Structure 1
Amino acid sequence: MEIESTFEESGYSEEFQKIYENMVDIMSANDYRPMKFKELCYLYDINTAEAKDEFLTFINKLCDEVKLIKTKNNRYMLPPKNVLTGIYSSTRKGFGFVTVEGYDEDFFIPAKDNMNAFHGDKVLISVLKGARGPRAEAKILRILSRNTSELIGVYQQCEGYGFVIPNIKKIADDIFIPKGASKGAVTGSVVVVDIKSFGTEKKSPEGIISQVIGHIDDPGTDIIQVIRSYNIPVEFPDDVEAELDTIPDEVSEEEKQGRRDLRNLQTVTIDGEDAKDLDDAITLTYSNGIYHLGVHIADVSNYVREGSPLDKEALRRGTSNYLIDSVIPMLPHKLSNGICSLNHDVDRLTLSCLMDIDESGKVISHEIVEGLINVNERMNYSDVAKILERSDDSLLERYKDYISFFDLMLELSRILRAAREKRGSIDFDVAETKIIVDENGVPVDIHPYERNDATKIIEDFMLIANETVAEQFFWADIPFEYRVHETPLQEKVDSLREAIRAFGIFFKVSKDKIHPKEYQKLLKEIEGKPYEALITRMTLRSMQQA
């Protein structure tokens, strides 16, 4: 029997698929005895060395996907029904948890059942029945793959040997460094250690130091630790850099064709003072009782094509990473700070949500179009707030042509916020903070971010645009990703109710349904009280994440 040498992109070749289906039939029988590889070769008439190699690759792939299990004596069988695959998270106390895709809750793994799994390992678990406690319990049957090859940590020198204390606090064991493997590290050195052995119950994991990053007291070392610990990519691959050379610095006339020309509208961006990538802009006019609001988002998809090196790299990174005083972008700066940043006085391509909103805050009509805009002013939250408050004469003089524009924004913002509140929207006014560092990267102060009318304007306009887009896709019955807050868990609500009772506050909620307006009432009741911040955070934590 000849085996096809290639796998189809969508799965196995047709012949491999038939073999697997036959295996399932055979191995599902009550009298099936697990078979060795050579017995499977005999069963499927696989004789040549080349065919056996291809068949073994196929079998190993099935095992990697846990469609088959290889026993300790090298026999093959189907996995039991209560067996799952997931990623192990360890703790310093020895027990751990396994996250399984498709399950809302992790599985608790007692220390005696962790099979010396290491943090991040892909493992095979068996779910235990009748386990005590609120969380489902399981035991690890097998470690399918070791997903940690190196770690970042702080070196501790001993007599003739050393240890590395991992930065990831969930890792239960320090890493033993034998004599001659320290690469000149001293106590306090921040190092990269290559794992050579994952240890046993009685023996620590072992490794060798491959790089000394610096000393724990050196400026900037802590940032490097974070980047390396979480494998955050800093440099972009060569194929991405090559693709960047094909992307223009300015919008070409050809790219402008077929787009809705919105350059005649008064357009501003409003962001933080130190923002570099300006990805949203606002237009707003009013006529005959209708507010004409435009929310314009930089059209990155015009330059990042599906399947391109840029697209694949952005998918791999997933997001930009914001550190204390810097950012590691998802897209190269030529895009994020250049052609895809809505800088003022230059033409830019956008995806624009154009909404007509009545005086009660209801969107009565809308369009989502490919737009072309030119930002008139790059504003920041502080300046817009001062203009709205009429508290800075120099700003009022400089932006005198925009005062009525910003007043109109505030007017619509308050209408939208009141409409949301009427529907039961919950506004958690929890202060965010910014860490201030000196020239050496050492934190010197912590400031709260000011939440003012300007920040609320952008919040309100972004929310109404998001709702409008989501509603369009919902009614079009098109598959779409929605940001949804599920109903809070009853046990968390009960805990909140018990905690705030000590403050003389009673939280009345039904066990069948918890309406957002009950949370509204609670937040209004504590407004201005000394314990407002505490109870606000407790209330926020009682809710489900989106």
Structure 2
Amino acid sequence: MALNGRNIREQILSLLARKDYRPLNKVEIARKMGVTAAGRVALRKSLRELERAGEIARIRKNRYILPAEADLVTGKLSIHQAGYGFLAPEVSGQSDVFIAAENIGTAMHGDRVVARISQDEPYRRIKGRREGRVIRILERAHDTIVGTLQRSRNFYYVVPDDPRFVHDVYVGQVSSSPGDQPAMAGLPLATSKVAPQIGDKVVVRLEPWESRHVNPEGQIIEVLGPASAPGIDMLSIIRKFHLPTEFPRDVLEQAKA
């Protein structure tokens, strides 16, 4: 069966909406729809697109369902500096979902996530408000953070400037080798050619974060300078929001005209 584009997406949604549908994985869906081996690439692509769009959800054992069938909500996560968060659903008209700190998992502020609405009374801490738990991260909002380099006994870590990033980011392990300099011992760098010092503002590229039981990790890619130095606060904001530091050539030429 040859499938592609809009046609295959409509057929997937139609299958999942059937009253007799039970959750199936991609192989079982292909078999159910009569998709040949040649068409399975298009099927997998459509499943990924539908999942990213929040039109379908992937549950345990990589089985697919319609979100409403399992009390799932897709949306953007906003985290408070106290650790809890709120999920703003993408479906118009739905109320925000409260996410307790222990139910956020490895999601970060601004991430696009899928949350399961809790039906247990003990978890309904605020009367009339839905509460849920993040079960999947669809899209990370940030691949870098800006913060201040610090050191504990065993690790170098960066404290994010944005308080909504509630976890410090580990950037290296303290080496115990003789002769190591305290500020740089064991501290790996990615692309930065300037050696950072404790107290410097730095830009960190985040690595994949899979476990809530350990802090996120990353690599320093740029050293902005001492946090107290003039202009560093402004440069930190520029890096945080990925703002340009130079005007495009055509703009400069127009300014000269």
TM-score range (shorter-chain normalised) is 0.7 to 0.9
d(CA) in 2 for partners of 1:235, 1:104: 42
Q: Does 1:20 align with 2:20?
A: no
| Structure 1 pair 119–166 and aligned structure 2 pair: CA distance change class (3 A) | same
Residue 206 of structure 1: how far off its partner (Å): 1.1
- The residue type paired with residue 126 of structure 1 is R
- The residue type paired with residue 149 of structure 1 is D
The 5-angstrom pairing of residues 107-506 of structure 1 reads: 107-128=97-118, 131-133=124-126, 136-139=129-132, 140-159=134-153, 161-179=155-173, 180-183=186-189, 184-198=195-209, 200-235=211-246, 244=250, 332=251
Q: TM-score, length-normalised on structure 1?
A: 0.39
Contact 2:149 2:201 in 1 (8 A): yes
Select the structure of larger CA radius of gyration: 1
- The residue type paired with residue 197 of structure 2 is V
Contact 1:149 1:194 in 2 (8 A): yes
| Percent of residue pairs identical | 25
- The residue type paired with residue 170 of structure 1 is R
Residue 132 of structure 1: how far off its partner (Å): 4.1
d(CA) in 2 for partners of 1:160, 1:128: 39
Gaps of 5+ in 1: 245-331, 340-546
Show structure 1 runs of 4+ deviating over 6 A.
none
Contact 2:9 2:50 in 1 (8 A): no
Q: Secondary structure at the match of 2:15?
A: helix
Which of 72, 79, 88 is 1:90 aligned to? 79
Contact 2:17 2:66 in 1 (8 A): no
Give the match for residue 21 of structure 2.
Answer: 32
Residue 47 of structure 1: how far off its partner (Å): 1.9
d(CA) in 1 for partners of 2:112, 2:226: 33
Contact 1:123 1:144 in 2 (8 A): yes
Residue 56 of structure 1: how far off its partner (Å): 0.6
Which of 99, 102, 107 is 2:88 aligned to? 99
| Structure 1 pair 221–70 and aligned structure 2 pair: CA distance change class (3 A) | same
RMSD between aligned alpha carbons? 2.8
- The residue type paired with residue 79 of structure 1 is P
Q: Secondary structure at the match of 1:186?
A: coil
d(CA) in 2 for partners of 1:194, 1:152: 9
d(CA) in 2 for partners of 1:175, 1:94: 15
Q: TM-score, length-normalised on structure 2?
A: 0.78
Contact 2:77 2:111 in 1 (8 A): yes
With a CA cutoff of 8 Å and minimum separation of 6, indicate the structure with the bigger relative contact order.
Answer: 2
Contact 2:77 2:85 in 1 (8 A): yes
Residue 334 of structure 1: how far off its partner (Å): 6.2
| Structure 1 pair 176–105 and aligned structure 2 pair: CA distance change class (3 A) | same
1:430-476 Cα shifts (integer Å, max 9, x gaps): xxxxxxxxxxxxxxxxxxxxxxxxxxxxxxxxxxxxxxxxxxxxxxx
Contact 1:127 1:136 in 2 (8 A): no
